[in-house]
Structure 1
Amino acid sequence: MATDYEKVKLPLILESYVDEREGFTLLIPTQWSKIEKAGATALFEDPQSKGNNVGVVVNPVRISSLSEFGTVDIVADKLLQAEKKKPSTNDVQLIKVNERLAHGGAPLYQLEYKLDSSRGVKRILSAVTVASKKLYILNVAYADTMEKPLQPDTASILEKIVNSFDVL
């Protein structure tokens, strides 16, 4: 049985994380642990709730710009269609999309959606860009259920994480 101390959810405090080898930077929660997972370049997990995480995947690609793949709306549509095809997905709803420039002027797309799957309901915030013929994908996943909805202060911190993501 959890003690009262263990039940207290500490506010998320962010610190800078830089991966010079793969060429990206972002803010991560100081309390979260870096874990190893196949396919993830970097993955940080909430020790109090294993489903909450921040992950980055970097893969080589043939295109030199994300705009060669499509607009932010096209990328969002393809992402949601891919999520819908997964057997574990019950529902997926796009919340918002945004486009900004990464370091060096590369287009960077930001997407936010709600995913209802067999593993629970989560809010997913993503940032995607292509630089130096590498595809960079940041995913921030956080529980967002009817019983425990995502609180505005936590949502604001998750947005800070996504907004901090950049290539070097």
Structure 2
Amino acid sequence: MNRFSLFLGLLLGLRVEKARATVLFEEANVGSNKVGVVVNPVRLNSLGEFGTPQFVANKLILAEKRKESTKDAEVIGVAKRPGQGGLQVYEFEYKVDSTRGGMKRILSVAFVASKRLYLLNIAHSDKPESPLDAHTRAMLEEILHSFDSAPST
């Protein structure tokens, strides 16, 4: 069992349906803790054709800020790393204060393979009264760093 499957098992398998999400899981009793994957066709051969990691992060934050429920959004970190088979992988960390769930920490990883955009989003509650603990953060980062290959077509 890979780390991603292990994490989904920890979420007790609560799969939910959401428009535009290829797959989305929520933690039982904590609907703001989610992990989801979106796969969409694109005209790009690599994420670099769209822009730098910072450019993409800025676009993500703008999209978050346009949501009616968002009170504030802020980029915390941006990285670029190689993935399997030479894929160009971008990682993002940002926080969002929302009327739907309060403060959340979002960890995202994105890459393009075979003209498809693969995006993994992990959202976890990060409220001042119950901040994201070090053990959970380490597990989420391990999952984030393991998402770097697409299924063969």
Which amino acid in the other structure matches residue 159 of structure 1?
A: E
Q: For residue 77 of structure 1, what is the amino acid of its counterpart?
A: N
Q: Deviations over 1:81-110 (max 9, x none)?
A: 111111111111111111111211111100
Shift in Å, 1:160? 0.8
Choose from 27, 40, 59 the match for 1:78. Answer: 59
Q: Give ranges in structure 1 of 5+ residues lacking alignment.
A: 1-14, 18-25
Alignment of 1:49-88 (within 5 A): 49-88=30-69
Distance of 2:75 and 2:46 partners within structure 1: 23
| Distance apart, 1:31 and its partner CA | 2.5
Alignment of 1:1-168 (within 5 A): 15-16=1-2, 26-27=4-5, 28-32=7-11, 33=13, 34-119=15-100, 120-168=102-150
TM-score, normalised to structure 1's length?
A: 0.82
Task: Tell me the alpha carbon deviations over residues 117-155 of structure 1, each in whole angstroms, 9 at most, x when there is no partner.
Answer: 111110000001101000011100000001111111111
> 1:133 is matched by which residue type in structure 2?
K
CA–CA distance in structure 2, aligned partners of residues 112 and 83 of structure 1: 13
The structure in which a higher percent of residues are helix is 2
- Give the superposition deviation at 1:66: 0.3
Kindly indicate whether the alpha-carbon contact (under 8 Å) linking 2:87 and 2:148 is maintained by their aligned counterparts in 1: no
Cα distance in 2 for partners of 1:59, 1:29 equals: 21
TM-score (ref. length: structure 2): 0.89
Matched letter for residue 30 of structure 1: G
SS at 2:45 equivalent: coil
Structure 1 vs Structure 2 CA RMSD: 1.4
CA apart distance, 1:16: 2.4
Give 3-state SS (helix, strand or coil) of 2:68's partner: coil
The 3-state SS of whatever aligns with 1:52 is: strand
